[in-house]
Copies of this chain bind each other. A is one copy, B any other.
Amino acid sequence: MPNPLEHVRNSFPILTQMRQYRKAWLRDDLAAGLTVGVMLIPQGMAYALIAGLPPEYGLYASVVPLLIYAMLGTSPHLAVGPVALMALLVASAASTVANSPEEHIAISILLALMAGVMQFALGVLRMGFIVNLLSRPVLSGFTSAAAIVIGLSQLHHLLGVDSVSGGLHEILFGIAVQVGQINAWTLAIGTGAIVLVLALKKRAPRVPGSLLAVGAGIVGVALTGLHEAGVSIVGEIPDGLPNFSMPMLEWALLRTLFPMAAAIALVGYMESIAVAKAIQEKAGGYEVDPNRELIALGAANIGGSLFQSFPVTGGFSRTAINYDAGARTSLASIFSAVIVALTLLFLTPLFYYLPNAVLAAVIMTAVYGLIEVGEFRRLWRLGHYDRYMFLATFVGTLFAGIEEGIVLGVALSVIMLVYRSARPGFTVLGRVPGTSVYRNIRRYDTEHEEGVLIFRLDGPLHFANAKYFREKVCDTIRHTSRVHRLVLEFSGVNDMDSTGLDELFALTDHLKEQDIDVRLAEVRGPIRDFIHKGAGDEREMPLHMTIEDAVRD
């Protein structure tokens, strides 16, 4: 029986961390927590902007979820909070359903609850494996396209023109017709911020560039009064911590939002687990558990949604900074949350003069790195059909829409899986002279005995390919002269179902009528058992250990 105390300790990894805590770590955790907290403030506000929410909601999403993840998460380094991709998914879902800014907020929070419940349930049911449906090429294609969509969605803030929504071409066209209305001051501030952030990133990567740009923007506008010259600013931000409030629950709304919430849950988890695993490999000394991560992220989203938070997940850049700044335990994340909470309590008036163009610059510089040109080049060189998965998802996301793109990618991946599985490879083998090794006759110089055909199936044998298998065996026999013995090399047959078994028996009977003797070799243990069971007493299937045994007699 498991020790109940140990169970509690396993459920809350932070307890183990605290028991092993050394005093010297406190300084490291504090330094990392402060660094990430300071990054969170501009990023949180910027991502709220992407999601179509007032800036304070980005800060709300940076308090409660961080505390919950710190308690439950299996990664001490993962920095959870608002990220660009989730914000974009939220914007896409909420803008199609909401009829007012208030509804937009309520729906964003409801999405956090729904995605959280899904993640939590998947974790409890130990169904973490289903996120594997999102292959890396699909995820890369999706992220790259989403980065472009996010960047473009901020363009109007940078130019000081009216916002334009819709697909890629609609945004570009909508902005093109407003070229005459571009506000030069806004453009100058935005471009300046981009240059500042990029320069600092390159020259002084430890300096929090985006916070500096935010500071410079606030001071600049406050001193010059440019907001009266048409530079749009953030304006008044209500102070105070997020309140407890129940998300609105309506059956019809839940049904409508279901697919979007599923996409948020899936994409959020994928991003988070990828980051957590990458940092774990660098850091070592602990193990990230996929199902427990789902539970932790789910709880963070559920708990967050009760305190006005939109969907969050573990983000790439802040996690890297957290680790680089020396974080030792989850305490670092708690310090980050405290920084944001203090800001909400006391510092919101500071952001009154913050130009929206600066936030747009923060976003654009952050998402630029997500466009994975290198990955696409690599896939193209590999020459695998994966490159078309990337391309289809990329183009689909860019032109058809955010959800459509990801659904397309997942559907294509599953279809390819079934298709590949329906067309397994097969090979004719011959003996490498002087050995008992048998190899592909097209790749090696081999010899073979007269009238003996050795056929290797490179895949499972099941309903989706049983007929194909039989056809290929019969075709091969037809193209080989006077076959009297067929050896089926089954080392590659790693799965079989009743349809496959029936076809194997039917093939054997069919060939027996043509005086061809069928033998099996190198059959995997579980498959051997299955064939024996299916054959019963009436039927004998000659199973040989090696090809040599089967060929010789």
Contacts and interface: CB of A to CB of B under 8 A. Distances in A.
A424 B425 CA distance: 17
A399 interface: no
Contacts of A495: 420, 424-425, 458-459
Given A417-B418, A524-B458, A384 B135 contact: no
A543 to B, nearest CB: 13
A414 B378 CA distance: 31
A404 interface: no
Given A437-B546, A491-B491, A465 B132 contact: yes
A534 B135 CA distance: 17
Given A384-B498, A418-B417, A281 B465 contact: no
A419 B281 CA distance: 27
The number of times this chain is found in the oligomer is 2
Contacts of A468: 129, 132
Interface in A410-432: 413-414, 417-425, 427
Interface string A420-448: 11111101000000001100100100000
A51 to B, nearest CB: 29
A502 B136 contact: yes
A381 interface: yes
Give the residue among A436, A506, A524 with the most B Cβ atoms within 10 A. Answer: A524
A533 interface: yes
A424 to B, nearest CB: 6
A417 B382 contact: no
A462 B417 CA distance: 9
A421 B421 contact: yes
Closest 8 CB pairs of A and B: A135-B463, A458-B494, A386-B498, A136-B499, A459-B494, A132-B464, A491-B491, A135-B499
Given A137-B498, A383-B533, A386-B499, 17 more contacts: A129-B419, A129-B423, A132-B463, A132-B464, A132-B468, A133-B463, A135-B462, A135-B463, A135-B464, A135-B497, A135-B499, A384-B497, A386-B498, A421-B421, A425-B524, A425-B526, A491-B491
